[in-house]
Amino acid sequence: MTKQQHFGWFLARGFGPHGWGHPYLDWNYRWTEPALYQQSVRDLEQAGFDLLIIEDAPSLGNPSTIDLRIRQAFGGPKHDPLILAPYLFDVTSNIGIAPTVNPAAYLPYTAARQFATLQHLSGNRLGLNIVTDTGSARHFGDQPPLTHDEAYNRAEEWVSGIRRLWHSWGEGALVADPASGRYADGSKLEAFQHRGDYFSFDGPLNAIPFEDGDPVVVSPGGSGRGLGFAGANSDVQLALAPLDAASVRDYRARIHAAARERGRDPRDIKILFAIQPVLVSSPEEADRLVTESANPDDAAIRNIAERQSSDLETDLTALDFEAPLDLRVFGEHVSQGSIKRLIGSFDVKSTPLGTLLGAQARLGRISDRSGFVGTAAEFADLIDELGESADNDGILLWGDLHPVTVHRILDELVPILRRRGILRTEFGGGGLRANLHDF
């Protein structure tokens, strides 16, 4: 029996120059104005998507790679996605919006108050994609540099502190009884003091409590510490793994084990695997694209090196492409997951950097599970297979939030998924948390 799954969209570029470097730039949308994103998010909601996650990186990186990050707009500029969220809520009714937030950038009391406000204004549709980028902390005051695991420790304290503030209004504290003239009962508010390793603040919060649950927490971490954070805190895990049944089952098992270790029900975490398919009109067209990608030219490899340099905050273009990659070129702040994705299954000690980069350009077919190029029907087959054989919760499609990108992927795919019973046809109502638990 076909399993219904959850679908989301991961806006991987963040609130940045959408269309740059692509022909659809000439549609003449202004990326700094809300209309582009409002049109796209309405279409995602019409398609039955549960949520939109908006990437962000508040820093342009270290001084030596700033030019690499902005030259082709790979790593910046980026505007604040939290400020974009109200414009998206305004034109939709059901889809959840999860902007990326960094504990280094928001003091807990301020964060709790702002997020509570958006949760109320949106009808319980706010999500928070919590990242622990350590390189950005220097922009936000006198903060000591943290290791990878220490950044997660800080994020845990931050999340627990925010939740304590949200729940500092005890049961019965909000009276709102016109007959008695009593709005609230101050004796039922918790005036606590938090003095932790990373933050100091006092409660209670001066925002009223939620009726239908806290904002949804999303996390993208793939390291052991990141999976532990997800097990303890997350409602949605943004997952990156090979999309075969064995890998999906293994990843899900690790998340579920982390949840049990923290005393949580694994079913409370929806694990959504991010993927960027290339959907074409026919198998023959898919075969042509795969064949053409087999031998990338120097320009293609150079372009990949620049993109990877932005993601890794390390100038790969200055390295010898004929020599193996020395992992010592990466600073401690660089994402281990990003490094692993560059290396893939190669032996890094013996494989030239140019080979690693060339592998990033090569495409594979959905039909033989070697990649993600194929028809909408072939992609639907893969999604159906993962739901049936790996009990997959759902998929995050990865791309710009641009009408051209959205329709290129969804126009043929949505009808196929709905006919097969994989994609929802209506929302149950109640906000993002309700979306995730509709099935």
Quick: pLDDT tens for 376-400. Answer: 999 999 999 999 999 999 999 999 9
How many other β-carbons are positioned within 10 Å of the β-carbon of residue 17? 19
**Which among 314, 332, 361 is the end of a domain?**
361
The whole-number pLDDT of residue 159 equals 98
Confidence grade of residue 1 (pLDDT, cut at 50, 70, 90)? low
Q: Are residues 159 and 79 in the same domain?
A: yes
- Is 332 a residue whose pLDDT tops 80? no
pLDDT band of residue 315 (cuts 50, 70, 90) is confident
What is the average per-residue pLDDT within 301-308? 90
pLDDT digits (tens, 9 = 90+) for 181-191: 999 999 999 99
Q: Tell me the per-residue pLDDT of 96-115, one tens digit each, with 9 for 90 and over.
A: 999 999 999 999 999 999 99
Both 24 and 130 in a single domain? Answer: yes
pLDDT of residue 309: 87
Which of 341, 361, 381 is the C-terminal boundary of a domain?
361
222 and 131 within one domain: yes
Sign of CA dihedral 293, 286, 396, 225: negative
Cα dihedral value 66, 72, 76, 78, nearest 10: 160
Asked which of 39-43, 310-314, 416-420 is least confident by mean pLDDT, the reply is 310-314
Domain end (from 315, 337, 361) = 361
- What is the DSSP pairing of strand 394-398 with strand 6-11? parallel
Decide if 413 contacts 384 (C-beta within 8 A).
no
The alpha helices in 234-332, defined as continuous H runs, are 245-261, 283-292, 298-312
Instruction: Give yes or no: residues 114 and 261 share one domain.
Output: yes
* Across 83-108, average pLDDT: 97
Can you give the residue range of the structural domain that contains 96? 6-166+195-282+373-436
Tens of pLDDT, residue by residue over 212-236, are 899 999 999 888 999 999 999 999 9
Burial class (CB in 10 A: 0-12, 13-18, 19+), 142: exposed
Residue type, 88: L
pLDDT the model gives residue 65: 77
Q: What is the mean pLDDT of residues 366-379?
A: 96
**Given this model, what pLDDT does residue 267 score?**
94
The helix/strand/coil state of 201 is strand
Residue 323's nearest CA partner among 347, 351, 346 is: 351
pLDDT at 435: 96
What is the pLDDT of the chain when averaged over all its residues?
94
* pLDDT (0 to 100) of residue 242: 87
Residues 6+ apart with CB under 8 A from 294: 362
Q: Cβ of 307: how many Cβ atoms within 10 Å?
A: 18
Res 256: pLDDT:
97
Measured from the Cβ of residue 96, the count of other Cβ atoms closer than 10 Å reads 30
pLDDT given for residue 180 in this prediction: 95
Residues 136-150 have a mean pLDDT of 86
Q: According to the model, what pLDDT value does residue 113 have?
A: 98
Whether 258 maps to a domain, the answer reads yes
Give how many domains the chain has, as a whole number. Answer: 2
Cα–Cα separations (whole angstroms), residue 240 to 219, 266, 299, 326, 371: 11, 18, 28, 24, 14
Of 61-65, 69-73, 202-206, the least confident: 61-65
pTM over 0.85: yes
Q: Which CATH number fits the domain that encloses residue 12?
A: 3.20.20.30
**Would you say residue 138 has pLDDT above 90?**
no
Residue 335 has pLDDT above 80, yes or no: no
Tokens standing for residue 421: 């019973």
- Is residue 93 located within the same domain as residue 151? yes
Distance CA 107, CA 70 (A): 28
If asked whether residues 213 and 340 sit together in one domain, one would say no
What mean pLDDT do residues 187-204 have?
Answer: 97
